[in-house]
Amino acid sequence: MLQDPLTLYKLIVLYMLDRVSFPLTVAQISDFILEKDYTNFLTLQQVISELTDAGMINSQSIRNRTHLAISEEGQETLQFFRNRISDAIQQDIDTYLRENEFTLRNEASVQANYYKSTSGEYEAQLIAKDREICLVNITLSVPTEEMASAICDNWQNKNQEIYQYLIKQLF
Is 146 found in the same domain as 91?
Answer: no
Whole-number Å distance between alpha carbons of 140 and 142: 6
Is 83 found in the same domain as 42?
Answer: yes
pLDDT number for residue 1: 39
Is 74 found in the same domain as 23?
Answer: yes
The mean pLDDT of 130-144, rounded to a whole number, is 88
State the DSSP code for 123: E
Question: Which residue type does 121 have?
Answer: E
Is 68 found in the same domain as 49?
Answer: yes
Question: ∠ CA(141), CA(143), CA(144), 5° rounding?
Answer: 110
pLDDT number for residue 160: 85
pLDDT number for residue 15: 97
pTM: 0.75
Is 133 found in the same domain as 97?
Answer: no
Is 74 found in the same domain as 129?
Answer: no
Is 99 found in the same domain as 29?
Answer: yes
CATH at residue 79: 1.10.10.10
Alpha carbon distances (Å) from 114 to 106, 148, 154:
20, 6, 13
